[in-house]
Structure 1
Amino acid sequence: MSDLRWRGKHRAELRRRGPNLAEAALRVRAEQVCEELTAQKDAWRHGFTRRRVLAGAGAVGVAALGSQLATTRVAFAAPETVTRTLVVVFLRGGLDGLSVIVPAGDRNYLNARPNIGVQTSQLLKGDNTFGLHPALAPLEPFWKAGTMAAVHAVHNPDASRSHFQAQDCLERGSASQVVRTGWLDRTLGAMGPGTTFRAIAEGGSMPRSLVGTEPKLVLDGVEGFRLSGPDYLHDKTLNALRTLYTGFEHPVVQQAKVTLAALDQARKLANTPYRPVAPYPPGGFGDQLRDVARLIKAGVGLRVAAVEIGGWDMHTNLGNVDGGDMRNNLTALAQGMGAFATDLGDKLSDVTLVTMSEFGRRVAQNGNAGTDHGHGSLMMMLGGGLVGGQVHGKWPGLAPSALDNGDLAGANDVRDVLGELLTRRFNVGDVKKIFPEHDFKTIGAFR
């Protein structure tokens, strides 16, 4: 089949795959290679050569996926040299942190939220100032054990209250449009070499925080990371692709080898039954955290994982402890995080999970028993190395004079929290390379 015919045949498929363009290209080309080798045993003799394939669209497919997984300029470390993993959970929609970790007994809070405020008697014990929403009960043991903490009144460099702008700014780690890459991509560069599985995004697309030059994977579960097509052709397809690049000198060769190794490793993981220690909640978030835990415990060298859960834009029906969207969402979040921590067991000491959201909400409830876009938000941390069991950072309070145009003021910069995490947990020496516009100050949340 000519390159022109191949491109025409599969153009619709590549467009349909969208963000997974590279993976689609590799899959369809691999299937075509296998079909041709099976149907024409003498294809090599008639001119079906490695050089011919590299000159056509097949090379584009393998090279594109290879660049997503690994590039030839990256040195690869052994999996056993990776001891710590950062898991970033993005709560999309603007989390109302005042409903999650509540200033206990604060009359300003209760007066501003007569229908949705959490009464002091209903809170789980936090510290001397704050209590935890009762839906966080699955996380209470970790809070008490010192492996969970929080930072309140966190502010994003962008104060527009626009979901799109705030998320973009937060995930780039900069208010300047000059900074194009994501903060997690720059973090990977600072962490140094790693394995093919050094960075993953769970779900169907690459988050803005990982966009950049460093290699990473988009996974919709380990089982989903495989060549499409019938199982009986899988080994033939891989062998055909390996043969194409054996003994050939070209920059794409290393990319192809790493890609094929990743597919092979993912297949072995998928074929090994995984039995988590704790039950995860059903649905996307639970499945994603389960997959991350599986990779950590498998020792594949995972350094960074990005997970997200939406539904936090609660303009209506926020509710209280008896029902509503906040209780439901927090229940799923806490169950997932609690199962993740329990499943990891002793390995939790080498993992830091951090939650973030683009902005907080206004202090006063609105006319629909919800809250509107605000400013100061909340970050929660779970894992090793924490000064746990307390809320860190400056607390501006909820007195009318302390509010920022009706919002909880942003007293703690998100880049300070992340900067402290990176320097104290992941040996990143120069935070300025991660957050170029910011003068880093410690919060005191990490040992």
Structure 2
Amino acid sequence: MSPTPTGACCPEFAAVSRRGLFRGAAALAGTSMLFGSTAVTASAAGTRPARNVLVVLSLRGAADGLSLVVPHGDPAYYTARPRLAVPADRLLAKDGFFGLHPALAPLVPLWDSGRLAAVHATGLPAPNRSHFAAMEEVEDADPGSRARVGWLNRLLGLDAYASPLQGLAIGSGTAPASLAGPQPFMAASGIDQVALAGDDKWDTTKGRRSSLERVWGAADGPLGAGVRSALASVTDFAPVLATPETPANGATYPSGDLGDALAAVARLVRGDVGTEVVTVDHGDWDMHTDVGTTEWGRLRTEATEMARAVAALFTDLGPLADKVTLVALSEFGRRVVENANWGLDHGYGNVMLLAGAGVVGGRYHGTWPGLGTTADADLMVTTDYRSVLAEVVETRFGASVPTVFPGLSRETVGVMRA
């Protein structure tokens, strides 16, 4: 008999609004938002094939990495979680110390083929248990700076190809702080929402577009430049809209926002209009109650959806997966010791999952610090999360790590092939 799930989370996470964490110049397409704060227009940049594609999957609400990738070799884990610990004999892809939660079974083929890896005990340089503040700190990735420029925007800024098509936040219609900054990007609730509102089959004379072009075609300032950039981006995005929605290679996505978003990512990759950075948010991982067991609970539900959606993405992509790398991370982890409500409170260190191109997979990376069993025990951070991301941007994009992650004292992780 399991407790009745409450679905409760802390008020801060429930109230988080990230709309103020980015800047944009134009909003055009219903629920879609096209942003450009520079004078470079998409029509001037044109389109080009993507060199590689980075998908950043944010597990919102502070996922419990100790449940997703279980340190079964640390006896303190089982002492601290008499009800919530995942039994060692239920773990998948198990080595002498770690194993995957059984809900991650759809990802085991990626693991076995060397295309999925985990890096444990990662996180911010110092604990930050506020969802809002930690999200912004993780996504700015520039400690001490007052500039509102995210690490993905800095990555985009290294390329002279300055098109809004280069970066896309998909699924919510808003963009994370990681994309905020001077480089143009897009955000949309779905692929088909990248359109000009009113420019449809009923607008037979195409008056909507022509009127906007007439008003803004020669307008000075960032707003005029943004509108022109957005109009050109809608046109240049057409090959993606022409790409069939039906998944390829027998892929089946789970129902829900994450499945829809990753199906859109596959369609985007096939359309190939030069998008190289995609962000996707997933779930409510803020589980102060009802984390549950391998048989019931909120963690099993969220982990199952995430695993099925990621596995479907790489199946759908087929050979195109050779250019796609996915990184899954969360703003912080959970406490080691379970609470009285079958839940876990805000913690510190966490696990990062990496899948796809360039990943040194089938392995657990990182340095394990050991667990404590006091009420306030944390998984301590031994690897700065930026060191993991640094390997990704350097190996996949040839990026300057000091530019993308200013001030980083980099550690060698070994999770990406040089």
The bucket for the TM-score relative to the shorter chain is: 0.7 to 0.9
Aligned twin of 1:279? 252
What is the Cα deviation at residue 72 of structure 1?
2.1
Partner of 1:282, secondary structure, is coil
Partner of 1:382, secondary structure, is strand
Aligned twin of 1:181? 149
In the alignment, the residues of structure 2 paired with residue 100 and residue 77 of structure 1 have an alpha-carbon distance, to the nearest angstrom, of: 42
5 Å-filtered alignment, 1:422-437, equals 422-429=393-400, 431-437=401-407
Using a 3 Å threshold, how does the CA distance of structure 1 residues 124 and 216 change in structure 2: closer, same or farther? same
Normalized against structure 1, the TM-score is what? 0.80
What is the Cα deviation at residue 270 of structure 1?
3.1
| 1:313 matches 2:260 | no
| 1:219 matches 2:192 | no
Is the 8 Å Cα contact of residues 223 and 266 (structure 1) preserved in structure 2? Answer: no
| 1:446 matches 2:413 | no
| 1:383 matches 2:370 | no
The residue type equivalent to 1:410 in the other structure is V
Is the 8 Å Cα contact of residues 154 and 403 (structure 2) preserved in structure 1? Answer: yes
In the alignment, the residues of structure 2 paired with residue 408 and residue 327 of structure 1 have an alpha-carbon distance, to the nearest angstrom, of: 21
5 Å-filtered alignment, 1:41-440, equals 67=36, 71-72=39-40, 79-202=47-170, 203-229=172-198, 231-233=201-203, 235-242=206-213, 256-267=227-238, 269-270=240-241, 272-277=243-248, 278-398=251-371, 405-429=376-400, 431-440=401-410
Partner of 1:343, secondary structure, is helix
Using a 3 Å threshold, how does the CA distance of structure 1 residues 249 and 119 change in structure 2: closer, same or farther? closer
Q: Deviations over 1:243-262 (max 9, x none)?
A: 5677x596777655542232
What is the Cα deviation at residue 437 of structure 1?
2.4
In the alignment, the residues of structure 1 paired with residue 220 and residue 145 of structure 2 have an alpha-carbon distance, to the nearest angstrom, of: 36
The residue type equivalent to 2:86 in the other structure is V
Partner of 2:158, secondary structure, is helix
In the alignment, the residues of structure 2 paired with residue 160 and residue 272 of structure 1 have an alpha-carbon distance, to the nearest angstrom, of: 42
What is the Cα deviation at residue 307 of structure 1?
0.6
In the alignment, the residues of structure 1 paired with residue 276 and residue 24 of structure 2 have an alpha-carbon distance, to the nearest angstrom, of: 24
Count of residue pairs the alignment pairs up? 390
In the alignment, the residues of structure 1 paired with residue 35 and residue 122 of structure 2 have an alpha-carbon distance, to the nearest angstrom, of: 38
Is the 8 Å Cα contact of residues 135 and 331 (structure 1) preserved in structure 2? Answer: yes
Is the 8 Å Cα contact of residues 154 and 377 (structure 1) preserved in structure 2? Answer: yes
What is the Cα deviation at residue 153 of structure 1?
0.5
Structure 1: tracts of 5 or more residues without a match: 1-16, 29-63
- Name the stretch that deviates more: 416-425 or 250-259: 250-259
In the alignment, the residues of structure 1 paired with residue 83 and residue 207 of structure 2 have an alpha-carbon distance, to the nearest angstrom, of: 63
Is the 8 Å Cα contact of residues 164 and 233 (structure 2) preserved in structure 1? Answer: yes
What is the Cα deviation at residue 366 of structure 1?
0.7
Using a 3 Å threshold, how does the CA distance of structure 1 residues 271 and 428 change in structure 2: closer, same or farther? closer
In the alignment, the residues of structure 2 paired with residue 279 and residue 404 of structure 1 have an alpha-carbon distance, to the nearest angstrom, of: 42
What is the Cα deviation at residue 434 of structure 1?
1.7
In the alignment, the residues of structure 2 paired with residue 127 and residue 143 of structure 1 have an alpha-carbon distance, to the nearest angstrom, of: 12
Structure 2: tracts of 5 or more residues without a match: 1-18
In the alignment, the residues of structure 2 paired with residue 80 and residue 264 of structure 1 have an alpha-carbon distance, to the nearest angstrom, of: 14
Aligned twin of 1:46? none
In the alignment, the residues of structure 2 paired with residue 434 and residue 404 of structure 1 have an alpha-carbon distance, to the nearest angstrom, of: 37
- Name the stretch that deviates more: 73-82 or 309-318: 73-82
Is the 8 Å Cα contact of residues 82 and 194 (structure 1) preserved in structure 2? Answer: no
- Name the stretch that deviates more: 197-206 or 403-412: 403-412
Q: Deviations over 1:312-345 (max 9, x none)?
A: 1111100111010000000010011111111111
Partner of 2:165, secondary structure, is coil
- Name the stretch that deviates more: 266-275 or 311-320: 266-275
Aligned twin of 1:61? none
- Name the stretch that deviates more: 271-280 or 335-344: 271-280
In the alignment, the residues of structure 1 paired with residue 134 and residue 227 of structure 2 have an alpha-carbon distance, to the nearest angstrom, of: 37
What is the Cα deviation at residue 242 of structure 1?
4.1
Using a 3 Å threshold, how does the CA distance of structure 1 residues 20 and 245 change in structure 2: closer, same or farther? closer
What is the Cα deviation at residue 178 of structure 1?
2.5
Is the 8 Å Cα contact of residues 78 and 301 (structure 1) preserved in structure 2? Answer: no
Partner of 2:120, secondary structure, is strand
Partner of 2:169, secondary structure, is strand
The residue type equivalent to 2:385 in the other structure is V
In the alignment, the residues of structure 1 paired with residue 68 and residue 278 of structure 2 have an alpha-carbon distance, to the nearest angstrom, of: 24
Is the 8 Å Cα contact of residues 23 and 181 (structure 2) preserved in structure 1? Answer: no
Radius of gyration: which is bigger? Answer: 1
Identity of counterpart residues, as a percentage?
39
The residue type equivalent to 2:398 in the other structure is N
What is the Cα deviation at residue 444 of structure 1?
0.6
What is the Cα deviation at residue 170 of structure 1?
0.6
In the alignment, the residues of structure 1 paired with residue 321 and residue 243 of structure 2 have an alpha-carbon distance, to the nearest angstrom, of: 22
Is the 8 Å Cα contact of residues 60 and 283 (structure 2) preserved in structure 1? Answer: yes
What is the Cα deviation at residue 397 of structure 1?
2.0
In the alignment, the residues of structure 1 paired with residue 293 and residue 149 of structure 2 have an alpha-carbon distance, to the nearest angstrom, of: 39
What is the Cα deviation at residue 271 of structure 1?
5.0
